[in-house]
Amino acid sequence: MSQEQQDAPFVPPPPPSPVEGSSLYPPHVLESKAQEARSDAKTALILSIVGLFCFGFIFGIIAYKKADNAISIIDIYEVAKDSRGLAVGAKILAIFDIVGWVIALIVRLFFLR
């Protein structure tokens, strides 16, 4: 080694660039799952909002399953983390759809005869 190399301070290499997703899966699988999670989260939100106004029980169940699927994909593959809030919001609205429908049915059957 030369004298200059010995006197130069050590500079560590830069950290690796952050990659979204788990390194256990190939990139094309991660991209596919990210698109699926985003699509399911958006669909669940749309269904749960529509379910507030009509067909709450049916749309609520479908929205809940779609949101749950999106959240599980996000957790397993560690992709589309920006869509997690959308999926959680859709899941909460779907629960309101189902509970609201059950309450409306009880009121209709027992109090409005």
Predicted TM-score (pTM) of the model is 0.78
- Percent of the chain's residues with pLDDT above 90: 71
Count of CB atoms within 10 A of residue 83's CB? 22
Domain boundaries, given as residue ranges, for the chain: 26-110
**113 or 36, greater pLDDT:** 36
Tens-place pLDDT, residues 3-56: 656 677 888 887 766 556 667 888 899 999 999 999 999 999 999 999 999 988
3-state SS of 28-66?
Answer: HHHHHHHHHHHHHHHHHHHHHHHHHHCCHHHHHHHHHHH
Burial classification of residue 28, based on how many CB atoms lie within 10 Å of its CB (0-12 exposed, 13-18 middle, 19 or more buried) = exposed
